[in-house]
């Protein structure tokens, strides 16, 4: 499966390039007696995260950069996902992703260097669902219906494409190219 190849005549990293954002919600977390930030993955999460990684690898998207929340469950999710990818992207652990609002997420996207063509975010709900929904002016196939029907469960992945600079990311600029959840 290949998701949204760049437009002819554009080079990756050019301000007018086709770009993709992969939005991964962390896998299922456990509820031990620790702070919310320190919650580890549950057994189901340790099974679902590699499946999400295989699905991302199957899209043909190779992230240039991954921004991952500093929470334990997101870091553990990313560690299991990245082993399934054909190449390891540069990874930045970003504390602003933890408990990020939609505005915070849009601001982070706007800080992304234009050399980055494909960005992967590993974060939390409600932010991941809100961002996918806000960016997606349109949806391809039944991706939008599947995303909204499922409520963006743990380990769900949305792929949003748009053209332009990261500085221009705002509501409705993109299209939902694909959506996957482990228990669809």
Looking at the domain assignment, is residue 172 inside a domain?
yes
Tokens 């560690």 found at: 79
Which residue range forms the structural domain that includes residue 102? 22-30+43-180
Number of domains, the chain: 1
CATH number for the domain that contains residue 62: 3.40.50.1240
Looking at the domain assignment, is residue 98 inside a domain?
yes
Looking at the domain assignment, is residue 3 inside a domain?
no
**What are the structure tokens assigned to 4, written together?**
């949204």
| 3-state DSSP assignment of residue 139 | strand
Looking at the domain assignment, is residue 6 inside a domain?
no
Using only C-alpha atoms, the chain has a radius of gyration, in whole angstroms, of 15
Point out the residues of the chain with pLDDT beneath 50.
1-11
Looking at the domain assignment, is residue 124 inside a domain?
yes
Q: Whole-angstrom Cα distance, residue 111 to residue 104?
A: 11
Looking at the domain assignment, is residue 1 inside a domain?
no
CA geometry: angle at 72 spanning 68 and 75, to 5°?
35
pLDDT score of 113: 96
pLDDT score of 184: 72
44 near 85, Cβ under 8 Å?
no
89 near 65, Cβ under 8 Å?
yes
């Amino acid at each position: 499966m290949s998701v949204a190849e760049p437009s002819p005549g554009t080079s990756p990293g050019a301000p007018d390039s086709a770009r993709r954002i992969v939005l991964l919600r962390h896998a299922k977390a456990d509820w031990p007696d620790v702070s919310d930030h320190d919650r580890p993955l549950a057994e189901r999460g340790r099974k679902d995260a590699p499946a999400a990684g295989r699905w991302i690898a199957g899209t043909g998207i190779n992230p240039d950069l991954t921004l991952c929340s500093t929470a334990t469950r997101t870091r553990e999710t990313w560690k299991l996902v990245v082993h399934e990818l054909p190449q390891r992207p540069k990874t930045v652990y970003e504390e602003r992703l933890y408990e990020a609002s939609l505005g915070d997420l849009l601001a982070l996207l706007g800080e992304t260097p234009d050399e980055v063509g494909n960005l992967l975010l590993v974060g939390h709900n409600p932010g991941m669902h809100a961002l996918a929904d806000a960016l997606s002016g349109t949806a391809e196939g039944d991706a939008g219906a599947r995303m909204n029907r499922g409520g963006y469960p743990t380990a769900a992945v949305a792929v949003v494409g748009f053209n332009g600079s990261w500085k221009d990311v705002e509501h409705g600029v993109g299209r939902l190219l694909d959506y996957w959840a482990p228990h669809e």
